[in-house]
Each structure stands twice: as C-alpha cells, then as structure tokens.
A and B are shown apart, each in its own frame.
Chain A
Amino acid sequence: MSVMSRSENARSLGLWDRDHEGHDVIGTRTFGFWLYMLTDAMVYAALFATFGVLSHVVNLAGGPSPAAVVHPVYAYGETVALFVSVLAYGGAMVALKAGNKAALIGALGAAMVAGGVFLGLAYSDIERLFHAGIVPQASGYLSIFFGLILYHALHILVGMVWMLVMIVQVMTRGFTSNVVYRLINLRLFWHFQAVIWVFVFTFVYLQGTVL
C-alpha cells in the first residue's frame, strides 16, 4: 500500500465510480409519475370522502334525490367507451414494443376517438340534467356529484390532448427516450382514469339508483 500513490490507493479501494453514466432516465421518470398519480389518487380520495359525506338526505336540501339524478344507462355507455379506449391504448403499447410507428399512431387515434365518445356521452348526460334544472348550485349533493364527474372528465380531456401531442411527437421524432417515457406515463395516467371511473360508476351511479 505504501508504494501506491494516494489516488491509486483510492482507486483500488473503489472509492469513486468513475464510469458512472447517470441514472436510468425512463425508470426515474416513470417512478416520479407514479408518485404524481398517488397525489391524484389522494385528490380523488378526498372527493369521494366528500361525496360520502354529502350523500346524506339532509344534503339534498329538498332537491332531487340521487335516484332521480343518475342515469346508469348513460353511465354504462360511458363505461364501455372508456374501456374500449383503454384497450386501444393497450394496443398502442403492444405496437411500441414491436416498434411499429403506424400501428401505434392508429391505436392512439382509436383511444382518442373512444375518449371523445366518453366525453360526448358525459356532455349529453349533463345537458339533460341541466335542462331539467338539476345544476350544481341546487344542493350540496349535486355540488359534489357534478364536482366529481367534471373533475374526472377534465382528466379525460387532458389525456386526449396529451395523446394528440404524443401522436405528433411519434410522427416527428420516432421512439426517442423522451417519447417512450411519455407514452409509458400516459398509459399509467389513462388506465388510472379508467380505474377511477369504476369507482364513480359503482358509488355514484349504481349505488345512486338505490339511494
């Protein structure tokens, strides 16, 4: 040891990782997005808790009851549309694995169209309610009913804009690491919105018919 210089000594002990090339970019980005989705899950948790609190009969303020508000058939149509969209997005991921640009763009387009059908159904459902005078300002229950479904619909809209951006990026850039991690994160985002919709469908619509 004594004949070695200090720095050689340091090297032989493995004191520095000289070949350190940084960290796995895609893994780091995806992990962060999982954390972001956790915050979104907490937002939904707080909204569902609010929904639970404001579903009591006193929170109807003499207005329409949940059974008079929710329309499970519309909601069923929305469910089918959203799940078709998620399935299409799954197809996009298969195309990503195969490195097939055209198939990926096609699948993203299909996912967008199905998302658009979801939003269209939601829009006509809300329009129907507004025409009947069922508005968020009418009672505490209706405030959270509309709050919850509109917050979810906002996510769908954002997801669709994101898909459009990704279609452009895949066309112009191809599968760079930035594009790939964004596609993976969008998958997470999109599937999560479908999972949330399962809860909305169950607690707001199905349970609403018997309240």
Chain B
Amino acid sequence: MGRLSLRQIPYQNPILVGTFVFALILGAAIVGLVTYHKRWGVLWREWLTTVDHKKIGVMYCLIGLVMLFRGFIDALMIRTQQAIAVGPHSPGYLGALHGYLTPFHAGQIFTAHGLIMVVFAATPLLVGLMNIIVPLQIGARDMAYPYLNALGLWLTAAGAALVMVSLFIGNFAHGGWYGFVPYFELPYSPGVGVDYWLWAFQLSVLGTTLGSINLIATIVKMRAPGMTWMRMPIFTWASLSANLIALTTFPVLMVCLALLASDRYFGTHFYTAGMGGNLMLYNDLFWVWGHPEVYFLILPAFGMMSEIVPTFSEKTLFGYATMVIASFAIGGVSWGVWLHHFFTMAAAPSVNSFYSVTTMLVGIPTGVKVFNWIFTMYRGRVRFELPMMWAVLSLFLLLVGGLTGMMNAFATNDYMWHNGVFVVAHFHLMVLLIAASIFGSVEYWFPKVFGFKLEARWGKAFFWCIVLGTGWVFIPMFLLGFAGMTRRLDYIPYTQWGPYLRVMLVGMGFYILAVAFFFMHLYVSLRDRAKNRVGADAWGTSRSLEWMTHSPVPAYNFAFVPQVHARDEWAWRKEQGVADLKSGPYRDIHMPGNTGVPFVLGALALALAFALTWRIWWLSGLALALCVAVVIVRAFAEDTDTVISAQDVERAERRYHDGEVVPMEEPMGRPTPRPAT
C-alpha cells in the first residue's frame, strides 16, 4: 500500500476527529435521505451522468459552495489562533505552546484556505455560472462539447475530494498555497502533504483547462443566428476574455507543477537548491499563471455586474463597446504583470519598473468599467433588490481593493510591506468583490434555473452581515499591515497587535452570522418556493436572451432557436411587442445523451491522484491503464445522442404555458438512437 498505513489517520487530533464525525453525520444524513426518498436512480440518471450544461453548472456551484464553507472554517481557525496566541504569556491548548494550533497544523490550515478559496471555491462557482448562463445568453441548446463539460466537472470534483480526503488521511501541505521551492522539494517536505496539494491542484488545472476550451468554442461556434459579436451580452464577452486567459495560462501551471512532481518522484533537478536547479524558475512559472488567474476570476465577476446593473437601473448598459475593449485590455495586460509578486527578489530596477508600470496599467480599463457602471445607474430607475445590493457592494470593494492594489504596484512600497498583511487585506477585498458578484448573480439567476426567487428578508440579513464582517476584519488588517505585521503567523510576538486581532474576531462573528443567515435564506426560500414562483422574465426588466425562455429552463433551452435582432434582444422584443414564445409547429430536437463515462473517469482520476500521493504504484498503474482503456472504448460509442420528439416538446411547452412548474430533474423525451447513416 505504498506509504499508507493506519498510523496515518490523525485520530489523536480532537479538531480533526470532530470534523470527521461531523462529515460522517452529514454524509449519513444525505445517504439516508436519498435512500428514504428512493432518489438514487434519479441522482444517477439525471445528475451524475448528465451532460446538460445547466445541471453541470449547478453541480459546479454546489462544489464551490461546499468548498467555500470549508475555506471559511479554515479562515475562522486562523483568526481565532491569531487572536489567542498573542505575546509570550498567552495560553496554549491542545498541545500547542500558544493558541490551540501547532505551527505544523496552522501551516496546513492557511495553505488549505488559500488553495481551496482560489481553485475549489471561486473557480467552480464562476465556471458553474458561466456554464449555466453563457449558452442561454447566446441562444444555444448546449455547450459545444457536452461530454467534455461533464469531464471537466468530475475532474474538478476529484480535486476537491482529494483536498477533503487529506483532512482525514495523512496531512496537507503546510508551506502556503502557492508553494515554495526548494522547501516543497522532497528532502525538506518528505511527507504526503505536498503531494496532496500537487495532485489536487493538477486535477483542477486539468478540469479548468478543458472547461475553457469548451466555453470559448461555445461562444465562437454556437451563437444563434443574428447573434453577431457586438450583440453579445457583456457577461458572455467577459467569459470569453476570462477563458482565453485560462486557455493560455493554465497549461503553464500544469508544467510548473509537473516539473515539481518530477523532482519529487524521479529525483530530477528543476527547482532544487543544488545540482543545477533554479528556484526562481518555479516562481516565474507559477505566477505567469498566478496573476492572470486573478483576472480569470475577476472578469466573469465584472461581467455579472454588467448584467445586474442595467437590469436594476432599467437602462441599457453605458459604454458597451468600451466594456468589451476593457475586458480584453485587462485580459491582455494580465500576461505582463506577474513579476510584481516578487519585486523584492533582486530583479534589476528596470525590470521592477516595467512590471510596476504594467500593473498600474490594469487600473485604466478597470476604471473605465467602474465609470460605465456608475453612468449606467445615473438617471436610471435604480431598484435595490438583492442582486443590485451585491453589485453595488462589489463596486465599493473594487474601489478599496483596487486602489490599495495600485499602492502595491509601486515596487518601492512593496519593499516595505512585502509578505505583509496589507497585501493580504488588499487581495482579500478583491476576492470578496468576486464573492459578492457571485452571490449577486446567484440571487439574480437563481429564478432562471429553479423557477422561483430567493426570499429577501434573510437574504438582506446575510448581505449586511457580510458587509459588517468585511469592515470589521479588513480595516484592522490594513492597519496591522501598516504596523508591519507579516502574513501566516501562528504566534504574534507583539502584544500591541492583540486588540486589532480581537477586533477582527468581531468581524468573524458577523461572518458566522452571515453563514447562518445564508442557510436560513436557502431554507426559507425553498420552503416558501410556491409563493416566489416566477415566469420567464423573473425581474421584469431583464434585457438579454436567457430571460426569454421558461424558468426553470427546459432541457432543450429554446423550443425554437431565437433569431437575434438587437444587442439587448429581450428588451428589444418587449419594446416591439413580440415577446411571445409560441411559434409552431414543433420539431424534433437532437440533444446529447447522458453518459456515465465522465463520472467514471473522474473517479479513476481521483484513484490515480490518491495512489500517486501515497506512492501505491500498482493502483497508480491500474487507474492510469483503466483511464486510457475507458477513453478508447468511449471513442467507439456511436449512439451518443438522444432525440426529444416534437410531441414531447409540445407537451412540455404547453405545461410551461399553463404555468406548471416542470422540475429540473424530470427526464425530457426518451433516448432514441440516431438513424444509421
């Protein structure tokens, strides 16, 4: 079994045992509920084997939410540790000298927090939303490659699962989410932690790369007739720009991580301290991905704001063309800024100056976007419903996060606070902006996907707790940054920092409330869903194509593929009085058929990654061979399509028109093998 033995189960750590019990109870409850309601068949047929872009998107979002919760618990532990372990006389619990986390455990937590929040929370949530919305916005019936789409999902799920497994078997990396060499090399980190980190990361890289190919091809190839480039909604444009970034940079990270794996598994010398290795090479390769990755995350968020703001200002978006140009300017500049992550690592002044300037250049297109949103609101009929509240919060966070980012862009400033919590506070505001946009767009598009709006009372409580928590946590963090506090401390040597850290705990209290209110928000919305049913156009003032079809969206998206006439097609149709959806007679619709192959490949990838982590060579070989075999066998499958017959389409359309709610998991049509050609 390689390095794996029973001794690797950390049963002596009460925190991990508690987590395990919690996970066990939760897992048992889910299994019990599914069994009790006899839903295993539905789960397999309609979800795990689906190739429907909407269901895949929903599952991406679920992974993202679960991992967001996990990342939040990590954050909570870091904050409490730092609030307790202040000064030499601070108490120690659970075997720690100060606080309740040993340095090794604290290191694992901040590493997991970073990796999870970036690649397993934010990324799946954004990819999920792009998956759901982009095909609808361009009038397509599915993604360009539905099978590949499911594969991307299950690879991402495998990566997330591997991170979770590391909680209970062995340990996780403890040197920071972006890794350090030569510290992450085998002689200095001999345990399995780095290997867990490596393979989980690599799986998500693979999944996201496949996803980016799919989204780009969908946008380029699958647009409805009349949907010219300059009629595309801004969210689709932003997705295109973001996925071009992903397409070009994720492969570089793949190489970066593969070379580290080669060092650890084969004893090569890419990044080693001696024998001709080069450790700056790791930093460059990592951040050549790492910084564009930030824009990969933020561009879809900007796109979401660009959809929400016009809807709730009841106006067309101000400066459409400049919005498009700005999205691509950010995408283009993203490639030329990575060195600002290590200004202090002895580059020549001319090099640092170059990267200072390119970093500041990002502010120009971003500024254009900010003004465009503000001018869209200007003289509009602004309605502060939940999505709009989140969008405006994003705008404020962007101001503070962006301007502190400009401060960081000065190499001279960076020399003073490099590796300090000022930088940490800056990028947390930026990712909170992304999170706020995500919450806003979940509120905004939820009725489109599920057919009912989320209720407003708990949603508002959730929103305000996030606002308060953010203020209470990050304003003190900026101040501590000025005071010279460095990041990732498990012990605080200066007692005068204590009060700030305890104030931050108050903020964490608001965040805990926010999480509780979020669950209440979901629960109450689900309970009262009959009251909050909506039709196609949930908000009444939406402008783009996705609001033209029914809510929840049928499997085939559009009974007839729309002909596009204007930039805001749905708004145009409402103005022309041609918003009617009926246009008979119905026709058969060809759709991709469900398949279990991507799920199986995801499971095999998880087995492979786990086996490599623990160096169980027979299992690695077996899993890899099975992967190859499954891919080849799948290449011989011919009848991969289904047909939804005209009668089934008509029946479904009639039910929608009668105001009946057609549940998302209801099977649509029946698989009919394609006639032989």
Q: CB within 8 Å of B: which residues of A?
A: 6-7, 9-11, 13-18, 20, 22-24, 27-29, 31-32, 35-36, 38-40, 42-43, 45-47, 49-50, 53-54, 58-61, 63, 136-144, 146-147, 161, 165, 169, 173, 176-178, 182
Contact = CB atoms under 8 A, between A and B. Distances in A.
B213 A39 contact: yes
A17 B561 contact: yes
A114 B273 CA distance: 41
B632 interface: yes
Contacts of B212: 35
Interface stretch (B252-260, B424-432, B479-487): B252-260
A50 B636 contact: no
A14 B564 CA distance: 9
A177 B252 CA distance: 33
A50 B255 contact: yes
A10 B252 contact: no
A124 to B, nearest CB: 21
Interface stretch (B168-176, B263-271, B395-403): B263-271
Contacts of B8: none
Interface stretch (B220-228, B509-517, B605-613): B220-228
A177 B560 CA distance: 25
Contacts of B247: 35, 38-39, 42
B266 A136 contact: yes
25 contacts: A16-B562, A16-B583, A29-B145, A31-B217, A35-B212, A35-B213, A35-B247, A39-B247, A39-B248, A46-B288, A50-B255, A50-B270, A54-B281, A59-B276, A63-B276, A136-B267, A136-B268, A140-B270, A140-B278, A141-B276, A146-B268, A147-B259, A169-B636, A178-B638, A182-B635
Contacts of A23: 221-222
A46 B285 contact: yes
B582 interface: yes
A37 B240 CA distance: 18
B216 A35 contact: yes
A167 B217 CA distance: 28
B222 A147 contact: no
A206 B601 CA distance: 41
B291 to A, nearest CB: 15
Contact of B573 (A15, A27, A59, A63): A15
Contacts of A22: 141, 590
Nearest to B243: A35
Nearest to B640: A178
Contact of A61 (B148, B252, B262, B269): B269
B285 A54 contact: no
Contacts of A9: 578, 580
A31 B141 CA distance: 18
Contacts of A45: 252
Interface of B: 141, 144-145, 148, 209, 212-214, 216-217, 220-222, 224-225, 247-252, 254-256, 259, 262-263, 266-270, 272, 274-278, 281, 285, 288, 560-563, 573, 576, 578, 580, 582-584, 587, 590, 632, 635-636, 638, 677
Contacts of A15: 562-563, 573, 578, 583
Contacts of B224: 17, 20
Given A50-B255, A50-B259, A140-B275, A169 B583 contact: no
B560 A16 contact: yes
B220 A31 contact: yes
Q: Which 8 A-B pairs have the closest CB atoms?
A: A140-B276, A61-B276, A16-B560, A143-B268, A42-B251, A59-B276, A46-B255, A20-B561
A39 B262 contact: no
B560 A165 contact: no
A59 B278 contact: yes
B222 A28 contact: yes
Contacts of A47: 255
Contacts of B250: 39
Contacts of B636: 169
Contacts of B275: 61, 138-140
A23 B281 CA distance: 44
Contacts of B251: 39-40, 42-43, 46
A23 B141 CA distance: 10
Contact of A31 (B221, B272, B281, B562): B221
